[in-house]
Amino acid sequence: MNKIAIITTHPIQYYAPWFRYLAQENDISIKVFYLWTFGITQQIDQGFQQSIKWDIPLLSGYNYEFVPNHSPNPGTHHFWGFKNPSLLTKVQSYQPNIVLLMCYNYASIYNFIFRWDTRKIPLIFRGDSHRILPRTGLKEWARRQLISLIYRRFSACLYVGKANYNYYSYHGVSAENLFFSPHAVDNDRFFSQTQEAFKQAKLWQQELQIPEDHAVILFAGKFESKKRPLDLLQAFIQSNLPQVSLLFVGAGSLENELRSQAANHPSIYFAPFQNQSQMPRTYAVADLVVLPSYGAWETWGLAINEAMCLSRPVLVSNHVGCAQDLIHPNRNGLIFQAGNISALKTCLQQAFSNRETLKNWGEESRKIISNYSYVQATQGLKDAINSLKT
């Protein structure tokens, strides 16, 4: 039996179902150590700029413990957001034979990594960082040395996709210590709700007063600069697409500016933040889902996984971490150069030049995403564990 201690920041809607899946495996026993209660208690989300609490179960079906966090300003938005002095002793008392870390760039995790005796119990890391937008200079050199030093503490690393694999390689992790554990969402939840989601989407489109004969371009997420919703708005206006509407779903710091720029356009709509139970319907209303993010911050883009579960064609920038893995150009979507509004406009025009082709792209999305599930993620973890025994 592999007794695994999993350390992660807080309950996350994408990870909790995987933990439930792992708990059902015959050869694995897990306990998740959370460093913060965000997601299960009503708290302010920095990106959405509003108080939220996820409305799907995040703590059922597996063993877990909340490690007290003494940070005066808890959160993932800064290094000192996690100060959990009892983390080491809590994990030791569980007596695992493997520790899986899902993050490291916080005070508590650094303290744990460098105090943990890796000669007795190995550490495995699963992350999703990439270097799609490379940085240079002395500061980047120093950063590379530090991260490479951290990775030497891990006996194996799990990579979620091609860009993430290259990130590990850049920081000195050898190929024999890298194992594919793809980023995944709860595919089964979305698959099982597909039929009902499309029924709800028709009604929702009417409620939003989007014309019934209009196709819908969807942006769903935080209205913040790194997500580049303003790029999409401008590209949509310039594309001049007949019988197509643009729907922004979410909230954030750019909301007022988005609404101001959209004020005189009759085919741009807004809907508030949608909780997890409403996300299948949210994707179902779309004929194309767009993620135009810029920079190093969109490490994967799990919203794209969710959209593909609902058989949606997808359009992403080349800075989105999943682009190389999930988007097959002219097969299930398109990729454009991040920050290039003209290129984004061209892609929108191409996508809606043939509605039947667009529908076929969506069907292909569902086929592709079937290979990015908790089954494959778990197999990668097991492969890494088995490698430690040889």
Residues 233, 265, single domain; the answer is yes
Residue type, 88: L
User: 316 with 281, same domain?
Assistant: yes
- Give the pair of three-digit tokens for residue 368: 């592709």
Please give the helix or strand (H or E) that residue 143 lies within, else none. Answer: helix 138-151
Distance CA 165, CA 146 (A): 18
Q: Give the CATH number, domain containing residue 245.
A: 3.40.50.2000
Tokens for 34?
């959370």
Which stretch of DSSP H or E encloses residue 334?
strand 333-336
Q: Do 16 and 98 share a domain, yes or no?
A: yes
Residues 104 and 42 in one domain: yes
Are residues 41 and 137 located together in one domain of the fold? yes
Reported in sequence order, the residue ranges of 98-194 that DSSP labels E, i.e. its strands, are 98-101, 123-127, 156-159, 178-180
Q: Centre a 10 Å sphere on the Cβ of residue 60 and count the other Cβ atoms it contains.
A: 10
CA gap 201, 207 in Å, rounded = 10
Distance between CA atoms of residues 61 and 12, nearest Å:
14
User: Is residue 281 located within the same domain as residue 356?
Assistant: yes
390: tokens are 């040889």
105 and 195 fall within a common domain? no
Residues 242 and 172 in one domain: no
How many domains, the chain?
2
For residue 278, what are the domain limits? 187-369
Q: 246, exposed or middle or buried, with CB in 10 Å at 0-12, 13-18, 19+?
A: buried
Name 206's Cβ contacts closer than 8 Å, sequence gap at least 6: 212
Q: Are residues 28 and 162 in the same domain?
A: yes
* 179 and 192 share one domain: no
Q: At what angle do helices 341-351 and 229-239 cross, to 10 degrees?
A: 60
- For residue 44, the model assigns a pLDDT of 75
Average pLDDT per consecutive 10 residues, the chain (390 residues; last block may be shorter): 96 95 97 93 77 87 97 93 96 98 94 95 97 90 94 98 97 98 97 97 97 97 96 98 97 96 96 95 98 94 98 98 98 98 98 96 98 98 93
- Both 193 and 177 in a single domain? no
- Residues 208 and 269: beta-carbon distance below 8 Å: yes
Within this chain, do residues 9 and 158 fall inside the same structural domain, yes or no? yes
Between helix 16-23 and helix 374-387 the angle, nearest 10°, is 60
